């Protein structure tokens, strides 16, 4: 028996597919015998145009379907050891018919009139399981409204990239500045942060330095629709900056587990592309109590003179020569007001209208629509050991044009945080849907982890859009404007594998803090200065092709097992490497030699890999990536030549250089960080020393 066809049919309506196979498909040859899941096709004679078929096997094809991951799959097997009569014509006709009858569909969320009905009533006909289980969550109605709002805001940005909603207005003349009667000419704050999740972490550090800080948050402060996990060595930057003590770090750790697993479904992969479990015991193995962590940062912000305005929506920012004026709306009173500052920090994530305006048609190239929940309890004993986590896991092949991936990590007591996401190329026809993903999540969670979903006790939902930008160089994305800078997901500089805006921010917190402190100290707040302050790494930029290989282009059909094959190819190589190699690679600390060695091994193990990437990426993106690779190689050479002496040299000349040439000093600090960030054992750069010195001696503005 030999498999001759494997298809993914992008519909959860398996019964409709079976009916089509039974009643509509006509193979044009042989006797069609219906079965509960498909049909058998047989002929009575034992000869074909190619010769006699062995009498040991029947002259028969078997076609059947099954359902998993809320989609439908089909396989065809040949029973004989030689081709069935007109076999290729039959398979082509079958494939073409299925593609025509069951094409890719990208459902639109309905337009809601919540003044006439609740969010539950409005969405129940479209997303019944999502409504059912959100109703069982504390604050479920509020959170479902939030998920719907986030999806609508994301779709708006994707579909109008060339003409995004304008929220940043530039006023260059002093006369224009004096016209503003609602704001004093002297800024009320040094820093105004918009967005209270990632924003409060950075805001607390800057307030500790002595800056006057205001934090604006659309939600009630401390509410989170995401949970965070990280590793011990990465959280060290919070200690280095003096933001928290060692005891405070321990108090926000909900769980530290022994190991994290990385495993992708390989039942349909060839033997050379099956892979063992990759163990990563020091990757994302520290789960944080995110709400407690945010409250702690908020307390530290207030203790150093900072302010938090929550339930306050950002409306627009007007940029003048000597200040910015931010217009906001109090969501409790619906009253608009203005506040002024020296600098605005955009920490609004993917929903940021500022990010869309600054980057026009290329605000984001990719996104991971991510949904999930924190489960308080309800899994049967033995389903999961809370000493372990799933870092990356798939339990099936491509599903409705997406390779679904799970993440799971334990929290306090019996809590489990579970995410479901996929890598997705931004497309106006198919922006990526949180609500569709939630319907998948509640349907297929029992397939992933054995459970009676009705017995689970839900603590809260977790959802969001995690963005990505396919950088060709360190300057091809705008993260700043005059007196405005973006951090976190709004800057879309996350790793293509496992680290989002939170991981990127924490790993680069010293870098961003030192550079921004330098810019503020010397009033270097124009675009050309602020655009140097970013968490860019050349080694991360060169790996965007890896995430590209996990995306199914909109409207395209590829072999269902293709992405799992690519993932197993690479993760199998990491599993064969020493533990520190996988650790450094996933934490974006790999060097040029490691990248090239692993890439060559992957191509040797699977010569078709380059063709697969070509099919997924296309010539244009491969050309862009080639430029990335040369930039990565150039940077590796510069690092080899400079990293051993340049940071020490800069530290020696700093006391003389900084007061005389502050703009040059900022530029050299940025170069120093570029040389020392993203390597396995970072050297003690001048920027780190400067940061620590300033934190020990807070200043008053």
Flag whether pLDDT at 126 surpasses 60: yes
- The answer to whether residue 492 sits within a structural domain is no
Least confident residue range of 15-19, 611-615, 645-649: 611-615
Range of the domain at 659: 646-696
- The answer to whether residue 420 sits within a structural domain is no
Flag whether pLDDT at 656 surpasses 90: yes
What's the pLDDT tens digit per position in 156-198? 888 876 677 889 999 876 545 544 444 445 679 999 999 888 8
Look at residues 101, 120, 150 and tell me which one is the last residue of a structural domain.
Answer: 101
Flag whether pLDDT at 545 surpasses 70: yes
Least confident residue range of 219-228, 372-381, 677-686: 677-686
- What confidence category does residue 697 fall into, taking pLDDT thresholds of 50, 70 and 90? very low
Q: State the Cα–Cα distance between residues 537 and 632, nearest whole angstrom.
A: 9
The chain-wide mean pLDDT, for the chain, equals: 87
Look at residues 48, 69, 101 and tell me which one is the last residue of a structural domain.
Answer: 101
What's the pLDDT tens digit per position in 633-643? 998 899 899 98
- The answer to whether residue 195 sits within a structural domain is no
Q: How many domains does the chain have?
A: 2
- The predicted pLDDT at position 371 comes to 97
Q: State the Cα–Cα distance between residues 517 and 390, nearest whole angstrom.
A: 38
Query: Are the CB atoms for 260 and 208 separated by under 8 Å?
Result: no
* 302: three-class secondary structure by DSSP: helix
Query: Are the CB atoms for 148 and 297 separated by under 8 Å?
Result: no
Report the predicted TM-score, pTM, of the whole model to 2 decimal places: 0.88
Query: Are the CB atoms for 160 and 360 separated by under 8 Å?
Result: no
CATH of the domain at 87: 3.30.310.50
- The predicted pLDDT at position 366 comes to 81
Strands 259-263 and 388-393: parallel
Q: How far is CA 449 from CA 12, 249, 290, 378, 416, in A?
A: 20, 31, 24, 12, 11
- The answer to whether residue 515 sits within a structural domain is no
What's the pLDDT tens digit per position in 270-282? 999 999 999 999 9
Closest Cα to residue 118, out of 135, 105, 106?
Answer: 135
What's the pLDDT tens digit per position in 506-520? 888 888 899 999 999
Centre a 10 Å sphere on the Cβ of residue 689 and count the other Cβ atoms it contains: 16
- The answer to whether residue 638 sits within a structural domain is no
- The answer to whether residue 557 sits within a structural domain is no
Look at residues 101, 126, 152 and tell me which one is the last residue of a structural domain.
Answer: 101
Closest Cα to residue 259, out of 410, 466, 77, 484?
Answer: 410
- The answer to whether residue 68 sits within a structural domain is yes
* Residues in a beta bridge with 136: none
**Residue 608 DSSP one-character state:** T
Percent residues over pLDDT 90 in the chain = 58
């Amino acid at each position: 028996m030999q498999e001759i066809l494997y298809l993914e049919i992008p519909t959860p309506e398996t019964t409709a597919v079976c009916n089509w196979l039974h009643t509509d498909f006509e193979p044009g040859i042989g006797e069609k015998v219906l079965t509960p899941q498909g049909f058998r096709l047989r002929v009575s004679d034992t000869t074909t145009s190619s010769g006699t078929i062995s009498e040991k096997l029947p002259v028969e094809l078997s076609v059947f379907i099954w359902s998993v991951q809320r989609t439908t799959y089909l396989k065809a097997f040949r029973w004989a050891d030689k081709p069935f009569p007109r076999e290729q014509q039959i398979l082509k006709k079958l494939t073409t018919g299925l593609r025509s009858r069951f094409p890719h569909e990208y459902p639109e969320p309905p337009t809601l009139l919540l003044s006439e009905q609740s969010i539950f009533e409005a969405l129940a006909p479209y997303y019944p399981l999502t409504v059912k289980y959100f109703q069982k969550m504390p604050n479920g109605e509020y959170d479902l409204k939030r998920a719907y709002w986030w999806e609508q805001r994301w779709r708006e940005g994707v579909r109008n990239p060339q003409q995004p909603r304008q929220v940043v207005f530039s006023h260059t003349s002093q006369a224009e500045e004096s016209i503003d009667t609602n704001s004093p000419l002297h800024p009320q704050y040094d820093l105004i942060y918009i967005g209270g999740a990632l924003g409060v972490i950075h805001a607390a550090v800057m307030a500790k330095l002595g800056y006057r800080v205001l934090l604006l948050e659309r939600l009630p402060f401390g509410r989170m629709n995401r949970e965070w996990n990280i590793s011990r060595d990465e959280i060290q930057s919070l200690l280095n900056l003096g933001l928290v003590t060692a005891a405070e770090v321990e108090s926000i750790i909900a769980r530290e587990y022994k190991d994290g697993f990385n495993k992708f479904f390989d039942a349909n992969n060839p033997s050379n592309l099956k892979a063992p479990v990759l163990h990563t015991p020091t990757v994302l193995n520290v789960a944080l109590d995110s709400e407690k962590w945010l409250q702690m940062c908020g307390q530290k912000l207030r203790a150093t003179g900072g302010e938090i305005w929550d339930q306050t929506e950002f409306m627009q920012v007007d940029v003048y020569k000597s200040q910015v004026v931010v217009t906001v709306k109090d969501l409790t009173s619906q009253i608009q007001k203005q506040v002024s500052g020296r600098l605005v920090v955009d920490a609004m994530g993917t929903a940021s209208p500022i990010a869309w305006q600054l980057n026009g048609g290329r605000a984001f190239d990719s996104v991971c629509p991510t949904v999930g929940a924190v489960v308080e309890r309800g899994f049967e004993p033995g389903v999961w050991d809370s000493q372990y986590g799933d870092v990356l896991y798939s339990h099936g092949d491509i599903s409705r044009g997406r390779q679904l991936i799970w993440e799971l990590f334990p929290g306090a007591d019996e809590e489990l945080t579970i995410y479901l996401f996929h890598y997705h190329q931004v497309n106006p026809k198919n922006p990526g849907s949180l609500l569709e993903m939630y319907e998948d999540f509640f349907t297929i969670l029992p397939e992933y982890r054995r459970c009676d979903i009705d017995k689970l006790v839900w603590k809260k939902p977790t959802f969001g859009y995690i963005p990505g930008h396919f950088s060709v160089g360190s300057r091809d994305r705008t993260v700043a404007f005059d007196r405005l800078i973006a951090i976190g997901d709004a800057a879309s500089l996350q790793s293509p594998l496992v680290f989002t805006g939170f991981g990127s921010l924490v790993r680069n917190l010293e870098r961003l803090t030192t550079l921004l402190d330098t810019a503020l100290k010397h009033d270097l707040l124009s675009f050309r200065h602020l655009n140097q302050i970013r968490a860019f790494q050349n080694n991360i930029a060169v790996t965007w092709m890896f995430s590209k290989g996990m995306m199914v282009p909109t409207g395209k059909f590829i072999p269902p097992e293709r992405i799992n094959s690519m993932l197993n190819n690479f993760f199998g190589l990491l599993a064969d490497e020493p533990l520190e190699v996988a650790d450094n690679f996933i934490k974006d600390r790999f060097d040029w030699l490691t990248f090239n060695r692993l890439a060559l091994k992957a191509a040797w193990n699977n010569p078709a890999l380059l063709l697969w990437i070509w099919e997924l990426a296309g010539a244009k993106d491969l050309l862009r990536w080639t430029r990335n690779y040369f930039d990565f190689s150039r940077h590796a050479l510069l690092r080899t030549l400079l990293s051993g002496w340049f940071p020490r040299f800069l530290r020696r000349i700093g006391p003389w250089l900084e007061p005389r040439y502050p703009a040059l000093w900022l530029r050299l600090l940025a170069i120093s960080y570029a040389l020392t960030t993203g390597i396995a054992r970072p050297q003690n750069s001048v920027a780190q020393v400067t940061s620590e010195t300033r934190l020990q001696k807070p200043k008053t503005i």
